[in-house]
Amino acid sequence: MNEQTRYSVGIDLGTTHCVLSYLDLHTSEDQQPVLSVLAIPQLTAPGSIEEKTQLPSFMYLAHGAEIAEGETALPWRNPAEHLVGEIARNLGSKTPIRLVSSAKSWLCHTGVDCKQDILPADAGSDIPRVSPFLASKAYLQHLCDAWNHLFPQQRLQDQHLTITVPASFDPAARELTVEACKAIGLTQIVLLEEPQAALYSWIEKNGNDWRNHVKVGDIILVVDIGGGTTDLSLIAVTQDQGNLQLTRVAVGDHILLGGDNMDLALAYTVKAKLEKDGGKRLEAWQLQALTHACREAKEKLFNQPELNTIPLVIAGRGSALIGGTLRSELNREELNRLLVEGFLPEVAVSDNPQSNPRSGLRSSGLPYAQDAGITRHLAAFLSKQIHAVQEFKDIKLPEPASFLHPSGVLLNGGVFKAEVLAQRLMTVLNNWLQAENAPAASLLQGSDLDLAVARGAAYYGFVRQGKGVRIKGGTAAAYYVGIETAMPAVPGLAPELEALCLAPFGMEEGSEQNLPNEEFGLIIGEPVRFRFFASKTRRQDTVGTRLSNWNDEELMELDEIEITLPEEGHQLGEVVPVHLSSGVSEVGTLELKAVSRRNQQQWKIEFDVRTKEEESAQP
């Protein structure tokens, strides 16, 4: 191993925060590796630089006259190329029209082109915009520069780098994340699902002791509630030649619902109270301040059971502090009603998240979850995944089971710092288990709720050196292309669609599968589009399986995929017979290719085709 490649670095590229953790690979065999979290130098206000372990994932598009020259210098660059981190969040709280946030959620938003300048979504026409892709790139660039500033001898480009993505990220969003890394020169990367990273972090924290906390036949449920998203995963514990083996068997849907929603829920309730008493509408900045105050009040109420109410005060913006304050309070009853009952209601396992038909507003914003009941999302996930462990002979579900019975639960995310919420989740889950006479699930303890994902990612780099237990998994879904069946045209009736399986569930990194029996004729120079589907439940389908009917639960439609054959060596308009091939790269992205029948020439099929025409074509 050379001296330049010394560290395993994990980056948690979160919706609201980014964290970078690293581990020295040069430690000796018998030593437990030491994980550190990088203190990231960042601007916190104009002219002031501080080191913080979290880099807020925000970007502020400052007006040219807004900040004096030289006030945005960073230790490695003057002036900073983009304002990201704490300063962006601070400035944006008073000028929200220039603030870019939740760029990551946009990456996984079907129906928008992530390389188009669309953020901030609610900015006026005279404000410059940036693309979600560029914002993600800017956060990565900042982390990369910070690292290279602190480790000039071991540049980040040369280290083993693991980037975490939500387990529910679709192939296009994964591809975009990798592209953003490559755009700033980070090529030695692998992707890791966030809930897996959390489990790796738990294993690392427990050292060799972790084997005593789980046993063969266990199913670990990972509930990761981040700032903006909720990510669910199931990991089975099995046995292979006497060794414990971990396999990620299922992941949940992309649920845009997180800790920030909780603070907002509190803020809106207090706002309603204030407006009822005072009769005056609160302004945007006051709501920001209120959200901040609510977050602190929430933490105090949850951590100090003897308190019953916490007064909330919002200062006016003028220099007169004493006269200009707004006062209200938050009490325990409200907190329980809103957060515990609102976000973790006691529901039956047969309940499903409620969803109302969307109004026409959808295209302008993110598809936030409509049902805030996390337990309902969990119930739906466990019920849907009841067959997830069928193939493992070590795991037996009791009969009759209406949902998959987890035996251990790993919680992740700052939300669970509140004991009350963690307990409530366990109570609800254990009630479901009890109703089916299953043993109660235990809580896996000892994980760092805020930093676990980044820590686990750094540890994963260590595991990849063959130095620890590795979670198997492969792709978390099976992928299909839609093919129109040949049938006589019937007016007013769209031709029937068949789904052709391209990549099976659980396809491992570095493997490839061909589909030689299905031939397509592609016309040179003309883009061809396929409808593209994913299924998180159909585990039995193999490459080439054709489905003629399915329900919406089973197959989820993703963005269309597109292929354009370039002219090189062919005549424009010539028809080339191809077959399709799929593979999972070592990085962890799905790769679809068209292979010529004649000379085995290969063309890549693009995921990211969310173009302008498509948007305007939508009603």
Partner 1 sequence: MNNFSIDLGLRPTTFDLWHVCLAGAVLILCLLLIVTLIWAILAGRRNKEHSVVTSPPEIKIVEKIVEVEKIVQTPAPEPIILKEASPDAACLLLSLLQREARFIDFIKEDMSAYSDTDIGAAARIVHQGCRQVINEHFTINAISQDVEGNRVTLNQGFDANAFRLTGNIVGEPPFTGTLVHKGWRVDDLHLPKLTEAHNPRIIAAAEVEL
Residues that bind partner 1 (CB under 8 A): 41, 44-51, 68-73, 75, 78, 94, 296, 311, 313, 315, 317, 319-323, 325, 327
Minimal distance, residue 610 CB to partner 1, in Å: 35
For partner 1, the closer CB: 185 or 324: 324
For partner 1, the closer CB: 34 or 322: 322
For partner 1, the closer CB: 48 or 434: 48
Per the CB < 8 A criterion, the answer to whether 551 and 537 are in contact is no
Measured CA to CA, the distance from residue 405 to residue 399 in angstroms comes to 11
The residues facing 163 across adjacent strands are 11, 191
Minimal distance, residue 317 CB to partner 1, in Å: 7
Minimal distance, residue 48 CB to partner 1, in Å: 4
Q: Token pair of 561, please?
A: 């995929």
At residue 210, the 3 state secondary structure works out as helix
Sign of CA dihedral 266, 267, 272, 275: positive
State the first-to-last Cα distance of the chain, in angstroms, to the nearest integer. Answer: 56
For partner 1, the closer CB: 237 or 326: 326
Minimal distance, residue 125 CB to partner 1, in Å: 16
Compute the CA torsion angle 435, 438, 440, 444 (nearest 10 deg): -130
Burial readout 118-151 (b: 16 or more C-beta within 10 A, e: otherwise): bbbeebeeeeebbbbbbbbbbbbbbbbbbbeebb
For partner 1, the closer CB: 45 or 348: 45
Q: For residue 514, what are the contacts with CB-CB under 8 A and spacing of at least 6?
A: 543, 579, 580, 581, 595
For partner 1, the closer CB: 91 or 382: 91
Minimal distance, residue 63 CB to partner 1, in Å: 9
For partner 1, the closer CB: 48 or 427: 48
Compute the CA torsion angle 431, 168, 22, 206 (nearest 10 deg): 20
For partner 1, the closer CB: 50 or 615: 50
Minimal distance, residue 283 CB to partner 1, in Å: 10
Q: Give which of 482, 519, 481 is closest to 497, Cα–Cα.
A: 482
Minimal distance, residue 547 CB to partner 1, in Å: 56
For partner 1, the closer CB: 322 or 572: 322
Measured CA to CA, the distance from residue 139 to residue 148 in angstroms comes to 14
Sign of CA dihedral 82, 84, 87, 90: positive
Minimal distance, residue 94 CB to partner 1, in Å: 8
Q: Assign residue 148 a region: left if phi > 0, alpha if psi is -120 to 50, beta otherwise? A: alpha
Minimal distance, residue 87 CB to partner 1, in Å: 11
Per the CB < 8 A criterion, the answer to whether 130 and 61 are in contact is yes
